[in-house]
Amino acid sequence: MKYRLRVRAIAVREFSAVAIWYERRSTGLGHRFLDELQDCFQHIALNPQGFQLREGAYRHALLDNFPYRVVYKIKDGEVFVYQVRHTSRKPNKRFGP
Alpha-carbon separation of residue 18 from 27, 29, 41, 51, 64 (angstroms): 14, 10, 16, 23, 16
Q: Is residue 43 part of a domain?
A: yes
* Cα 24 from Cα 52, distance rounded (Å): 32
Q: Is residue 9 part of a domain?
A: yes
Q: Is residue 59 part of a domain?
A: yes
Per-residue pLDDT reduced to its tens digit, 4-63: 999 999 999 999 999 999 999 999 999 999 999 999 999 999 999 999 888 788 999 999
Question: What predicted TM-score, i.e. pTM, was given to this entire model?
Answer: 0.89
Bridge partners, residue 80, by sequence = 6, 73
Q: What's the sign of the alpha-carbon dihedral 56, 57, 58, 60? A: positive
Confidence of residue 89 (pLDDT cuts 50, 70, 90): confident
In this structure, the dihedral spanned by the alpha carbons of residues 15, 18, 20 and 25, taken in order and rounded to 10 degrees, is: -160
Q: Is residue 97 part of a domain?
A: no
Q: Is residue 23 part of a domain?
A: yes
- Host domain of residue 79: 4-92
Buried b (16+ CB within 10 A) or exposed e, 72-90: bebeeeebbbbbbbeeeee
Q: Is residue 25 part of a domain?
A: yes
**Residue 56, domain CATH:** 3.30.2310.20
* Cα 37 from Cα 15, distance rounded (Å): 9
Determine the pLDDT at residue 93: 66
Residue 91 has pLDDT above 80, yes or no: no
